[in-house]
Amino acid sequence: MTPRPSWTFAPGWRRLSRALWIVLALSLVPAAILVVARVQSEGSRRSVAIVMDELALAEQASYLGVSSLELGLRYQALGLGGIALYEDTIETLALKGRAAAMLGREARALAVASGEVPPAIAADTTLITELESGALDVLLATSWPPAQRLEIGGRDWYAWPGDSFRTRPAGPDRGQIAAWHEAGFDIAYRPRNYPNLREVGEHLPTEANYLVYAGLQVAGFPSSLDEVVAATGDTFTGVIEGTAQDGMAVVTRSVPTVRVLSFNQDYINQRLRPADLIEKYLLAANERNVRLLYLRPYTEEQLGDMVENTEALVAGLVAELERDGFTVGPLEPLAVTYEAPTLLRALAAVGVLAGLGLLALAFPAPWGAFAAAAVALLALVAAGPSWAAFALVAALVFPVLGFALFGPGLWTLLRATLVSLLGAAFLVAVGSDRDTMLAIEPFAGVAATLVVPPALFAAHALLRWRQPAAWVRYLWGYRLRLGDLAVAFAVAAVLGLVVMRRGNFPIIGASEAELALRGFLNELFVRPRFKELVGHPLAVLALLNPRWPAWATAPLLVAGVVAQASILNSFSHYHTPLVVSLQRTLIALALGLLVGLVLVPLARLAVHGVRRWLTDEPAPEVGQTPSRAADGD
């Protein structure tokens, strides 16, 4: 059975579809106003700061027999501008010789050895005594409940239940901070959190240019966040990519923020050469508005000499940033001046609803109503009754419309991309505000943006061919063949790959060939997304070969929808400048068209050759009938 052309509406719905297109066009006016306003507000933010993790630097310095400050000065000469210093703990106070610490069982043994009565404390109690005047002032002021005071061996000791050597915050090392500050380094201070902390904000160092909270919670979470906000003032608070920290959403609504990119130490030591790291940091600065680049030096030598690699990383990163037009140095506060008037957002949201109506009309009745309702329900579940729900609807609907409403031919890809860009305009218009542009409020349902559109298009194609009951009857009696399994496996593998490769830290990373291609494209212009570089050519194959069977073209068009969904996914990263997202979309479209036009004659030649090979029969031998020759008798 030949499927009904998927780009034609049922006759009774054509007038309604025209009305929806008119509504969509009218809603584009307020959306365009908001998009232009946002582009103007983004301006030319081309400054970045570089800081290095002091703990990792100290580890590297220990192998050389020098201090972390001495080694830091060596890297400062290559362009390193800042250092990340952690808040002390009981353990670090002891390691620095500013205090002595032990567990309860050690205290009991010490008392017995001194001929004293062992203190009545648990074996895992944490005890500390001061060796440097004032070393415990912050620890005793911020810890709650107050420490139990004991006298052991003629000294005053302070005890807390449980082993909290590595976790109980003890305040900044002001001597260390002063030394680095006087050496000309910007300070990224890393406060820690612990239950029931008091006076959190009173002990933040005034020299700090940035606050980058250590661990998975903001200091003072959950009860002292107002105090932290008040103490932060104009100091930048770092929002770490890929790391959700409790309390961050509350704090960053009221203080200046900066996006931070860092990488795990083991990942650096074992997998990322300096050139790889430079590429990742440069990409983040160019495309994701990351302005604080957090470096960790190499502390192992799987990839070569650790110091030489670190020098190559620092010097190469600074050189590449400056070549791209960035100013490397202390950051000025970033004021997001963009404001989205509620009326304009509401008018733009009407366009999103018009797109949802067009999606409903693209399906045979009554399934279109079910599809539209399912999309709306998913958006409400993911984002609640908010502007973010409208943005998610736009991201799920518009990638499908282009291929669902237009027929075969190369122009369909261009029209589909134009429809996706219209959807991107609506997404940006209804979803952009201060919190989303600063990545304080992430895009709700971002994973669905790459999965739902191809699923919707696949359902649309199947329903244009047969009704569900007919599909059940057809599939119930269908004789499964090896070719069917191969096609199904290939489609499932592609969709699975899309899901597992999403995000900045995907389950399956890029291959060496893909990394090489990315590097080449980065040298030429803004790197396009790989999903589009694959999906667009496959869509061209389907659109320029309308006589191919539906089972062959449908999966190719599904891949094309994945590429269209990737366009909306790019614009859903609100922290990325709109001009960058548009550039990468147009570049991917141009390259995809070029690759697709090259693949079309090659695919036709391959199909023709396979058909001839499958249909050719060997000539019968003399004395044999054709049937006997074919049977091999």
State the Cα–Cα distance between residues 574 and 440, nearest whole angstrom: 10
Is residue 439 scored above 90 in pLDDT?
no
Per-residue pLDDT, 363: 87
> 150: helix, coil or strand?
strand
pLDDT digits (tens, 9 = 90+) for 456-476: 998 888 887 777 766 666 666
Q: What is the mean pLDDT of residues 446-454?
A: 89
Residue 324's contacts (CB-CB under 8 Å, 6 or more residues apart) are 282, 285, 286
pLDDT digits (tens, 9 = 90+) for 409-430: 888 899 999 999 999 999 999 9
Per-residue pLDDT, 485: 60
Per-residue pLDDT, 473: 64
The tokens for 107 are 């205290």
Label residue 115 by pLDDT band (50, 70, 90).
confident
**In terms of Cα–Cα distance, which of 468, 251, 430, 450 is closest to 349?**
430
Label residue 4 by pLDDT band (50, 70, 90).
very low
Q: What is the mean pLDDT of residues 478-487?
A: 61
Is residue 187 scored above 90 in pLDDT?
yes
Per-residue pLDDT, 433: 86
Q: What percent helix, strand, coil does the chain show, rounded to 5?
A: 55, 10, 35
Q: What is the mean pLDDT of residues 17-28?
A: 93
**In terms of Cα–Cα distance, which of 203, 183, 215 is closest to 82?**
183
Does residue 368 or residue 519 have the better pLDDT? Answer: 368
Label residue 487 by pLDDT band (50, 70, 90).
low
- What is the radius of gyration, based on Cα positions, of the chain? 31
Q: What is the mean pLDDT of residues 12-23?
A: 85
Q: What is the mean pLDDT of residues 345-357?
A: 95
Is residue 608 scored above 90 in pLDDT?
no
State the Cα–Cα distance between residues 313 and 315, nearest whole angstrom: 6
* Residue % of the chain over a pLDDT of 70: 84
Label residue 91 by pLDDT band (50, 70, 90).
very high
State the Cα–Cα distance between residues 376 and 378, nearest whole angstrom: 5
- Range with the lowest mean pLDDT among 53-57, 65-69, 619-623? 619-623
- Range with the lowest mean pLDDT among 26-30, 43-47, 96-100, 349-353? 43-47
In which residue are the tokens 């990638």 written?
Answer: 399
Rounded mean pLDDT of the chain? 85
Per-residue pLDDT, 465: 74
Does residue 488 or residue 534 have the better pLDDT? Answer: 534
> 238: helix, coil or strand?
strand
> 462: helix, coil or strand?
helix
* Fold observed for domain 47-87+172-328: TIM Barrel (3.20.20)
Residue 63's contacts (CB-CB under 8 Å, 6 or more residues apart) are 306
Label residue 365 by pLDDT band (50, 70, 90).
confident
Instruction: Give the start-to-end residue ranges of the domains of the chain.
Output: 11-41+338-614, 47-87+172-328, 90-160
Per-residue pLDDT, 238: 93
- Hey, how many other C-beta atoms are within 10 angstroms of the C-beta on 5? 11
- Range with the lowest mean pLDDT among 182-191, 336-345, 537-546? 336-345
pLDDT digits (tens, 9 = 90+) for 521-552: 555 456 677 788 888 999 998 899 888 877 77
State the Cα–Cα distance between residues 75 and 348, nearest whole angstrom: 50
Per-residue pLDDT, 1: 38
**In terms of Cα–Cα distance, which of 530, 555, 545, 540 is closest to 454?**
555
pLDDT digits (tens, 9 = 90+) for 300-328: 999 999 999 999 999 999 999 999 889 99
Per-residue pLDDT, 633: 34
pLDDT digits (tens, 9 = 90+) for 53-63: 999 999 999 99
The tokens for 53 are 């993790």
pTM of the model: 0.73
Per-residue pLDDT, 545: 86
Residue 319's contacts (CB-CB under 8 Å, 6 or more residues apart) are 79
Q: What is the mean pLDDT of residues 110-122?
A: 85
